[in-house]
Chains A and B, each alone.
Chain A
Amino acid sequence: DADVTQTPRNRITKTGKRIMLECSQTKGHDRMYWYRQDPGLGLRLIYYSFDVKDINKGEISDGYSVSRQAQAKFSLSLESAIPNQTALYFCATSDPLKRTGGTGELFFGEGSRLTVL
């Protein structure tokens, strides 16, 4: 089984609909992230959470919200989806470099492809 699992893997929806993308991890990492991938733009950070009670906006958080339900679960919501939110979304986890001796490496899920019509 994958260490970082994203659901759904593919979703087609209509403008104005509410969408939730879910992420769960078995790596035991405190830190979780949501990135968005667009061709030619690379990966851009939407939100990140360093523990259950700590949630922070990334560079493109407008139109998105998140919920950290538990250490292992981090969900991304689009309250009212719009076509320019059509993208590939990635959840990732990391182990802090200094605090626990981790490498700081990001571990990504396999992505959720969202199409907003």
Chain B
Amino acid sequence: DIQMTQSPSTLSAYVGDRVTITCRASQSISDWLAWYQQKPGKAPKLLIYKASTLETGVPSRFSGSGSGTEFTLTISSLQPDDFATYYCQEYESYSWLTFGGGTKVEIK
């Protein structure tokens, strides 16, 4: 099974900061990676798929990069609405998928 490791697990930042979250895969997944945002009591929301393609309606301050085993999600200028938990998810296999453990972005 592919393991997905996110870092950091918690991140404290100010509004306006540039924020970067890292996701590492235990083996190469090409660019079969998605990023989600989740707020308390809500379902995850798709932000990015295929490592760097922004989902329709997602603000352009979100961006994704990487391939193989190392990926990043960047928020260029953190907004109040962005304080949430972020998850990466691989889908390299045809028949299963795996989520990372999450990164909580908190207000500093």
Query: Is the A/B pair a real complex?
Result: no
Residues of A within 8 A of B (CB): none
